[in-house]
Chain A
Amino acid sequence: EVQLVESGGDLVKPGGSLRLSCAASGFTFSTYGMNWVRQAPGKGLEWVSYTPSSASYTHHADSVKGRFTISRDNAKKSLYLQMNSLRAEDTAVYYCARDLGIKVGTITLDSWGQGTLVTVSS
């Protein structure tokens, strides 16, 4: 069974930093692209970042570019999101999600964790 378990969410002050982790199990982590998706309270889904299986490049949403960095450790079957210069509008539940990888040039989020809450407030 595919399992994704996020951790690291916390209350942090504006301008602060936080590192989220996502532990994967039940599948060959090193062969799948991975994503972070967030959801502000009462709002819709917002894609944050993507890294392919090889971690050879990354993509980030414009709203977090230059502040957030996605990374992965295939040996540890783990995905990370380093978040710097946090703002109140970054307050959200952060989900890690696996890309099914069925077709080049598409992303299909077939498995999701339960999310971890990040609150940015003074």
Chain B
Amino acid sequence: SYVLTQPPSLSVAPGQTARVTCGGSNVGSKSVRWYQQKPGQAPVLVVYDDNDRPSGIPERFSGSNSGNTATLTISRVEAGDEADYYCQVWDSSSDHVVFGGGTKLTVL
């Protein structure tokens, strides 16, 4: 089955840029979604189709996807961005939704 690998944690100072990676075999050929989940809350879609944002999501959130790595980039990080971030794809070979293990972003 298809596997997505994320680093468990990432720390960034306010105002800096956070890059959350998501590794998978030829993930660049798939369409990646990213979700933000704050403690005690349901996940929220922040990026879809590699680099599109739902309405209401700040432009500070962007995505890229090439080769074996997809990346969620959060520019000018704010304290309110502290959350768990999950990447997700649809694996057509198994007809399964696949999530990465999640990355906990800490704003220093």
Contacts and interface: CB of A to CB of B under 8 A. Distances in A.
B3 to A, nearest CB: 13
Interface string B47-86: 0110000100000000000000000000000000000101
A102 B49 contact: yes
B98 interface: yes
A115 B43 CA distance: 10
Given A45-B35, A103-B31, A108 B45 contact: yes
Interface string B68-108: 00000000000000001010101010011111111000000
Interface residues of B, number: 25
Nearest to B43: A112
Contacts of B95: 59
18 contacts: A44-B84, A44-B99, A44-B100, A45-B37, A45-B43, A46-B99, A47-B96, A59-B95, A62-B96, A95-B42, A103-B49, A106-B49, A107-B88, A107-B90, A109-B88, A112-B42, A112-B43, A113-B42
The 4 closest A-B pairs by CB, nearest first: A47-B97, A112-B42, A44-B102, A45-B99
